[in-house]
Amino acid sequence: MRVLVTGGVRSGKSRHAESLLAGREQVTYVAAGPSAAEDPDPDWALRLAAHRDRRPASWTTLETRDLPAVFAAAGGPVLVDCLGTWLTGVLDERGLWERPADEVGAVVDDLLDAAVTALAQVPDVVLVTNEVGLGVVPAHRSGRLFRDLLGTVNQRLAGACDEVHLVIAGRVLVL
């Protein structure tokens, strides 16, 4: 089972993704967003705590953006939440926000090549991402860059999955 779960902000996509692995004793939960050390925002910390509280104590949480390494080392099911925060972190870490779009795209493509190759070795993985492209065109370059790149990320990883689930207001549509 390889599933990409997409939807808007606060649509219920993380809860749905977790439900796909309910009953699994050992799951590697990859928190691909900023750690508390990177972003001491108290609202972000509350969101992370709510997610942690929903998960079984037997699930292992990894705070990392090295998705190929996680996939390559996975001994069981993997849940990655969320590709949008992963992409933001990659752009931040590598100082790519102000680089030319083609250069940034090449870096993201290389990361995706490695992730897709490693993903093929994981029998059970659920990837959570934000859907992009349904709203207005962002007014700022960084917003357009992010939208375009996340669209590419979503398409590439959806292509490596068996199913895509769209979550809207807590309701799931299997595409």
Question: Torsions phi, psi of 84, nearest 5?
Answer: -65, -45
- In this prediction, residue 141 carries a pLDDT of 95
Reported as a single tens digit per residue, the pLDDT across 90-115 is 999 999 999 999 999 999 999 999 99
Q: Which residue ranges make up each domain of the chain?
A: 2-174
- In this prediction, residue 43 carries a pLDDT of 80
Band (57; pLDDT cuts 50, 70, 90): confident
Pair 167, 11: CB distance under 8 Å: yes
Kind of pairing between the strands at 28-31 and 60-63: parallel
**In the predicted structure, residue 1 carries a pLDDT above the cut 80:** yes
- In this prediction, residue 73 carries a pLDDT of 86
Rounded to two decimals, what is the model's pTM? 0.92
The mean predicted confidence, pLDDT, of the chain is 91
Pair 146, 22: CB distance under 8 Å: no
Reported as a single tens digit per residue, the pLDDT across 21-48 is 998 989 999 988 766 677 677 887 787 7
Question: What are the residue numbers of the active site?
Answer: 51
2-174: what CATH class?
A: alpha beta
> 3-state DSSP call for residue 9?
coil
Pair 168, 5: CB distance under 8 Å: no
Pair 20, 128: CB distance under 8 Å: no
- Is the preceding peptide bond at 161 cis, omega within 30 degrees of 0? no
- In this prediction, residue 139 carries a pLDDT of 94
Reported as a single tens digit per residue, the pLDDT across 65-80 is 899 889 888 889 999 9
- What's the rounded mean pLDDT across residues 137-147? 94
